[in-house]
Amino acid sequence: MAGKNVLEINDLNFDAEVLKSKEPFLLDFSAVWCGPCKALAPVVEKFADEYVGKVRVGKLDIDDSPSVPSKFSIRGVPTVIAFRDGKEVARHVGANANKELLAKLAGI
């Protein structure tokens, strides 16, 4: 379950929400069974709350929506990808991220 400022992204809404976003978009690829994903979730939620209006943030469950992770060659979770103008601009793999790193990935 995502926080109030974290969008639920899936294979069906990915293009409209992420690729066509006017703002930078930070997408957290995760899974419910993933311990490191659970550790990263509060960091992503705090980041989303702090940067409302500057960057959009979403979470995608790799098991529920396997097409997008396959398209972006996601090999491990958590993986966070920053998108700008519909293109991947940065990527971080692992739970060792903080708000500053997420801001750097998003280019803000």
60 given a catalytic annotation = no
**What is the predicted pLDDT for the residue at 1?**
54
Regions in the chain scoring below 50 on pLDDT: none
**What is the predicted pLDDT for the residue at 24?**
97
34 given a catalytic annotation = yes
**What is the predicted pLDDT for the residue at 74?**
97
Selected from 3.30.70.20, 3.40.30.10, 3.60.20.10, 2.40.110.10, the CATH number assigned to the domain covering 6-106 reads: 3.40.30.10
Q: Report the C-alpha gap between 78 and 95 in whole angstroms.
A: 6
2, 27, 37, 82: the catalytic one is 37
34, 41, 60, 103: the catalytic one is 34
Q: Report the C-alpha gap between 4 and 58 in whole angstroms.
A: 10
Look up the pTM and report it.
0.96
**What is the predicted pLDDT for the residue at 90?**
98
**What is the predicted pLDDT for the residue at 3?**
79
